[in-house]
Amino acid sequence: MSSKNKVALLAACVALGAASVPWAAEVKPAAPAAPANLTAAQIVERNAAARGGLAAWHAVQTMSWSGKMDAGVGDSMARSENYVKQMWANKKKSTGHGQGAAEQTNTPVTQQVQLPFVLEMKRPGKSRIELEFAGKTAVQVYDGKEGWLKRPYLNRDDWEPFSAEQLKASEGKWDMDGPLLDYAAKGTKLALEGVEKVDGQNAYKLKLTLRNGTTQHVWIDTHTFLDVKVEGTPRRMDGKLRTVWVTQRDFKSVQGLMVPSSLETAVDGYPETHKMLIEKIAVNPKLDDSRFTKPKA
């Protein structure tokens, strides 16, 4: 799955309404020295092999993820409060505990809530995200060119088209191969900018200049050659475009493909992070095209 795709998913969940789990301190052995004199192209070749190989990824036509992700603190406190207030309002209706619910809606949001999600992807660049919240399912669909979303927890039961900004942010983000595989055919240029620490381990810092002139950084572990950190599309928050980074951990082999099962997103200027835990991955599940087309009213 594309590194940009992963970033797009977390950003999409902000639009839909939607960890950071403390990592136990541990003493890790010193990372082996980075192989000397590797070029950026050679590093990417090793990354492709470490991920399972070009042929294996080219054979992937569909993929689905399911698990849990954080919603709440980290995007907008006001937005988070609205989400939780809506959740408590629904609880009030279902349980009749009016006073308790009212008290909860006035409580500042200080913690995130983990919500179940399902992400489905299909070439070329199609995606469908379903997110359960407050007993309702929010949905976001992208057919590779246009997108629509429905947010019933905000009493928006009608399908809404993507905004111009959402469409621009979604372009190219659902490429399951990622930005490094077949980079030359995509018109991407590479540059090695040195070695930096990611989670205490050495990682090559690569600069990608895309065909349209935009740039992106990817960090490749010098030992495993897996892409352990990626720079995402800047996210507009508080009226400013802010840099986004996603740290990828706990890679697992799924039908020979190495896929991270933990993604943690950080936004420049914000101390809180969002984490997505992937509990189940299906490679080449049967997904009808109708799941990615414009929904009927």
- What's the pLDDT tens digit per position in 146-205? 999 998 878 888 899 998 888 877 776 767 888 999 999 999 999 999 999 999 999 999
CA 294 to chain CA centroid, Å, is 23
Ramachandran region of residue 32, left (φ > 0), alpha (ψ -120 to 50) or beta?
beta
Say what the pLDDT of residue 34 is. Answer: 59
CB 228 within 8 A of CB 43: no
Pick the more confident residue, 197 or 72. 197
Say what the pLDDT of residue 154 is. Answer: 80
CATH code, 231: 2.50.20.10
Which of 187, 172, 185, 206 minimizes the C-alpha distance to 54? Answer: 185
Average pLDDT over residues 58-71: 94
Comparing 82-86, 229-233, 234-238, the range with the smallest average pLDDT is 82-86
- Total of domains in the chain: 1
CB 146 within 8 A of CB 171: no
CB 284 within 8 A of CB 122: no
Residue 275 resides in a domain: yes
Which of 172, 227, 170, 174 minimizes the C-alpha distance to 198? Answer: 227
Helix (H, G, I), strand (E, B) or coil at 245: strand
Q: Using 50, 70 and 90 to split pLDDT, how confident is the model at 100?
A: very low
Predicted structure pTM score: 0.75
Start-to-end CA span in the chain (Å): 30
Residue 81 resides in a domain: no
Residue 285 resides in a domain: yes
- The domain in which residue 223 lies consists of 3-20+39-74+112-292
CB 65 within 8 A of CB 1: yes
Residue 242 resides in a domain: yes
